[in-house]
Structure 1
């Protein structure tokens, strides 16, 4: 691990550091896109146990799969982080101020939260960026999780989108993936084949617990979700930043789309997962405060 300094022509970085200490070392206007998925302040620890299935030829495994095949469940590492802050806003606000400073004049911030704090975040970002710099609130809707009986089950997250300069920001919706029409019989065959552009409501499944994309990190976000963000709000060769990087989904997507990236996290399990996922595309760095 090296105390690598970011450079415009340098390599992608996975940085093991406290973001509050690392972000001030980066230069003004360095990033076209900042996507951050901070802890949601749920008040409880987030846990994820890695598991994998191994065939049991003797038929005595603890799980039965396709066509009655027997499997043993092998448990791996348990990943955890605490998602409870006594003063959430004193934690988040200085980091969002840094995000404003680090955005290029044509840059965009995507702040991924949920219903607990998103309305307070909107007021805070209006103050930091200016209300005229608010671009969208994206609703990520999914069909997994909550099964409440005494209220409407919560099945979405919120992503606030702010631009540094409302007259100059980059946005290219032609680069994003298209969706099938909900009423395909009402459009022409050509339109049906092409699909429609996404709106501000994105229907996308979570990361499958058994899929190849799963890293075992709690609250991992799917690549398909972040791909829209990166494709629409950056260009090949642009720098992208995630300073609550977690499993490194922003870095994985940026690498596939030809963008440069910096992924920052202070938790060792996150760094271990990102090195496994991004090691061929990034240099591991650390930051030691003076």
Structure 2
């Protein structure tokens, strides 16, 4: 019999909570940060190479990109988009801490939209190492208004990095299958089982009248998180979500027998999660 999952809910800025977690304690970290809208985030910019920040030799300082080092690359990106440095200054120390708490077999998923995905991919390659990049997942959906002046933007990007390319956990056998688009071209047995998803995921948003709907504006569907948790964790593993929002990660983790630490600074988000996850242990804010 599977033991009850332990779900912790922190009403707090996520950086101090991440810093309080033990090294190599989480199998999966899923980050769904606010998308960069041009607003300056309130934060102190911290260098990933500052004293005390490097937990693994070479983890955050590496050369590449035709001889340009990490700091030069960061500076170059600031000249391309003057908003990006503010956003990255907010996100970078949280990514560094997320990387620290990952187990050697662990995986980090960063969920972004089209405005930042291309910047983030280059920066994550520099921060973690290109050899740790595993996938770029495209979550495609079809809802809402469609522009007639350009191709309508109807997808999110999820960048996937593994802590150790030689040891990471990935279990495709546990992942929910999809129906074949042309079932007549495969055997009846294969058609009944369905196919393994590729790196393009066609999945609806949370239906307005569906059982999942919480009313939280940026709620992600359980099907997306279930696929991530199934592939990259095992029963009993710890999942961390620093931008937990509506609590979808926690709901999926609990249903699949995983433990979870959910963090969000928004009182609205915490209220939604407490109603959705009444079994969660609520932890006081960390300052």
> What range is the shorter-chain TM-score in?
0.7 to 0.9
Question: Which structure has greater strand proportion?
Answer: 1
Residue in structure 1 matched with residue 80 of structure 2 by the alignment = none
SS of residue paired to 1:226: helix
Residue in structure 2 matched with residue 78 of structure 1 by the alignment = none
Query: How many residues matched?
Result: 241
Consecutive unaligned residues in structure 2, runs of 5 or more: 40-82
Asked if 1:102 corresponds to 2:101, the answer is yes
Shift of 1:221: 0.2
Residue in structure 2 matched with residue 57 of structure 1 by the alignment = none
Alignment of 1:137-286 (within 5 A): 137-280=136-279, 282-286=280-284
| 8 Å Cα contact 1:100-1:128 kept in structure 2 | no
Query: Equivalents in 1 of 2:144, 2:163: separation in Å?
Result: 35
Query: Equivalents in 1 of 2:6, 2:196: separation in Å?
Result: 33
Shift of 1:11: 3.6
Aligned counterpart for 1:18 among listed residues 5, 10, 13: 13
Query: Equivalents in 2 of 1:88, 1:287: separation in Å?
Result: 23
Consecutive unaligned residues in structure 1, runs of 5 or more: 1-8, 45-83
Taking structure 2 as the reference length, what is the TM-score of the superposition? 0.81
Taking structure 1 as the reference length, what is the TM-score of the superposition? 0.80
Q: 1:43 to 1:214 in 2, by over 3 A?
A: farther
Asked if 1:91 corresponds to 2:101, the answer is no
Shift of 1:86: 7.9
| 8 Å Cα contact 1:146-1:155 kept in structure 2 | no
SS of residue paired to 1:199: coil
Alignment of 1:39-78 (within 5 A): 39-43=34-38
| 8 Å Cα contact 1:146-1:154 kept in structure 2 | no
Could you list the per-position Cα deviations for residues 203-223 of structure 1 after superposition, in whole angstroms to 9, with x for gaps in the alignment?
000001121111111110000
Task: Give the aligned CA root-mean-square deviation in angstroms.
Answer: 1.7
